[in-house]
């Protein structure tokens, strides 16, 4: 270890990522994030956070669903293949040190930096039915920076939509280091090329659009959703030729089907050789074997909720040990570690 606790050569780089527990995980999360996290477990020292405080920033008025979403999220992660022996899975609110770091960082973050974050105004507009003029919502990226910096994480696997938050996190780290001395490494985004995953209505898959295929959906429901999914609108009848390049079903094929099937779809769709139902059945033939083992694991875990709670408790214990180390350094650097004699 270097004096700052950054890993030296040969040690695994540290990764942190997280999600807000505001609803069920869907197949877009699987190919967009979870598959990548599962691979990272073997190459990096990984921390994955269920960020319930972040959920509160917009869901503060009715907090009752959050608890259930937290447990569901843990189930989905474990069922998808995160392995608590190879990574640390924890709930943000079980590591209260995040709140202390958030507070201290808030002293050095200009409000203008936060108002400039593109997601701030965007989300306020998108969620116009919510009052998002609260202080906590403005501070969302500061809390996210605390999540990352408290583990001195070097790599943060995130989607495109989170790049601005990560850039802000780096600015906060730089500002902290220049004011108080080098404590934090500047974390880097780890973006992987991910396939576009449209929802059943053709828009980006999102729980707020009601167009998602959830990991926990029973397979007959998944089948129904796919069979009803919108296709190339120009292909009105079985006899019309279609164009896979403008069809959201083809995007799902690209995420889940093999090369051979992609070629088949390309040929048969364009010459009206098969119908959209045939095409969707080919997709389901690839999608179902991905979902089935996840659902089997999920069902087993669901019976043993205490085991899941124990995994989260152990995760929080490991996370707290690291977070406490960082906080010692942070307090010392900021000279807020006087304590009273006694
Ligand atoms: N803001 C992220 C999202 O909406 C969730 C998140 C919270 C996060 N803390 C994080 C992501 C830290 C990466 C690192 O998905
Ligand atoms: Fe889309 Fe497949 Fe129908 Fe072509 S055949 S329009 S790719 S669903």
State the angle between helix axes of 305-334 and 64-80 in degrees (0 to 180), rounded to the nearest 10: 100
In a domain, 342, yes or no: no
Q: Are residues 160 and 59 in the same domain?
A: yes
Mean pLDDT across 276-283: 98
CATH number at residue 250: 1.10.240.10
216 Cα–ligand 2 center, Å: 26
Mean pLDDT across 2-18: 72
For 35-84, give the DSSP string.
HHHHHHTTTSEEEEEE-HHHHHHHH-S--HHHHHHHHHHHHHHHHHT--T
166 Cα–ligand 1 center, Å: 9
Q: Tokens standing for 321?
A: 């040990």
Q: Are residues 134 and 244 in the same domain?
A: no
Mean pLDDT across 322-341: 91
Model confidence band, residue 21 (pLDDT cutoffs 50, 70, 90): very high
In a domain, 96, yes or no: yes
Contacts (Cβ under 8 Å, ≥6 apart) of 289: none
**Residue 201: predicted pLDDT:** 97
Q: Are residues 86 and 181 in the same domain?
A: yes
Model confidence band, residue 1 (pLDDT cutoffs 50, 70, 90): very low
Model confidence band, residue 193 (pLDDT cutoffs 50, 70, 90): confident
Residue 38 pLDDT more than 60? yes
Mean pLDDT across 201-211: 93
**Residue 62: predicted pLDDT:** 96
Residues with CB under 6 A from ligand 1: 16-20, 51, 54, 144, 147-148, 156, 158, 162, 165
Q: Are residues 96 and 139 in the same domain?
A: yes
- Quickly tell me which residue has 């780290």 as its tokens: 173
Dihedral angle sign, alpha carbons of residues 160, 203, 254, 297: positive
Q: Are residues 252 and 266 in the same domain?
A: yes
Model confidence band, residue 194 (pLDDT cutoffs 50, 70, 90): confident
In a domain, 208, yes or no: no
Ligand 1: residue whose CA is nearest its atom 5 = 19
In a domain, 339, yes or no: no
178 Cα–ligand 1 center, Å: 25
In a domain, 207, yes or no: no
Q: Tokens standing for 150?
A: 């408290």
**Residue 9: predicted pLDDT:** 52
In a domain, 314, yes or no: yes
Contact 75/130 with Cβ under 8 angstroms? no
157 Cα–ligand 1 center, Å: 10
Q: Please choose from 14, 15, 20, 92 the residue to mutate so as to test ligand 1's pocket, defined by most ligand atoms within 8 A of CB.
A: 20
Residue 70 pLDDT more than 80? yes
Q: Are residues 232 and 119 in the same domain?
A: no
In a domain, 203, yes or no: no
In a domain, 210, yes or no: no
Q: Are residues 288 and 187 in the same domain?
A: no
How many C-beta neighbours within 10 Å does residue 177 have?
Answer: 16
How many C-beta neighbours within 10 Å does residue 134 have?
Answer: 14
Mean pLDDT of the chain: 94
- Number of separate helices (H) and strands (E) present in the chain: 15, 5
Closest ligand to residue 257's CA? 2
Contact 283/251 with Cβ under 8 angstroms? no
Residue 2 pLDDT more than 90? no
Domain range holding 168? Answer: 14-197+304-334
Q: Are residues 84 and 144 in the same domain?
A: yes
Residue 64 pLDDT more than 70? yes
Give pTM, 2 decimals: 0.94
Q: Are residues 326 and 255 in the same domain?
A: no
d(CA 223, CA 291): 11
Among 283, 295, 226, residue whose Cα is nearest residue 256: 283
Domain count, the chain: 2
Q: Are residues 155 and 294 in the same domain?
A: no
Model confidence band, residue 107 (pLDDT cutoffs 50, 70, 90): very high
**Residue 195: predicted pLDDT:** 87
Q: Are residues 100 and 123 in the same domain?
A: yes
**Residue 8: predicted pLDDT:** 54
């Amino acid at each position: 270890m270097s004096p700052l606790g950054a890993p030296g050569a040969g040690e695994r780089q540290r990764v942190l990522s997280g999600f807000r527990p505001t609803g069920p995980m869907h197949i877009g999360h699987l190919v967009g994030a979870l598959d990548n996290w599962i691979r990272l477990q073997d190459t990096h020292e990984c921390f994955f956070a269920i960020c319930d405080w972040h959920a509160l920033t917009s869901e503060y008025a009715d907090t009752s669903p959050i608890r259930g979403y937290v447990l569901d999220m843990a189930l989905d992660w474990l069922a998808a293949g995160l392995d608590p022996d190879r990574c640390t899975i924890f709930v943000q609110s079980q590591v209260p040190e995040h709140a202390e770091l958030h507070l201290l960082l808030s002293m050095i973050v200009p409000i203008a930096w936060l108002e400039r974050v593109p997601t701030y105004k965007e989300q306020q507009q998108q969620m116009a039915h919510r009052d998002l003029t609260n202080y906590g919502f403005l501070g969302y990226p500061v809390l996210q920076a605390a999540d990352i910096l408290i583990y001195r994480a070097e790599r943060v696997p995130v989607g495109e939509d989170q790049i601005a938050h990560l850039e802000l996190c780096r600015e906060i780290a730089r500002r902290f280091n220049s004011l108080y001395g080098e404590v934090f490494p500047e974390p880097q985004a780890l973006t992987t090329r991910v396939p576009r995953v449209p929802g059943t209505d053709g828009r980006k898959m999102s729980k707020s659009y009601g167009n998602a295929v959830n990991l926990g959906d029973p397979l007959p429901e998944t089948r129904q959703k796919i069979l009803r999914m919108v296709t190339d609108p120009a292909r009105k009848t079985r006899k019309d030729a279609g164009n896979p390049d403008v069809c959201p079903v083809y995007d799902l094929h690209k995420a889940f089907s093999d090369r051979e099937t992609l070629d088949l779809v390309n040929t048969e769709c364009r010459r009206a050789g098969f119908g959209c139902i045939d095409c969707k059945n080919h997709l389901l033939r690839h999608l179902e074997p991905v979902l089935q083992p996840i659902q089997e694991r999920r069902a087993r875990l669901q019976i043993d909720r205490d085991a899941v709670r124990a995994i989260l408790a152990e995760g929080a214990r490991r996370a707290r040990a690291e977070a406490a180390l960082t906080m010692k350094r942070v307090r010392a650097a900021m000279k807020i570690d006087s304590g009273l004699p006694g």
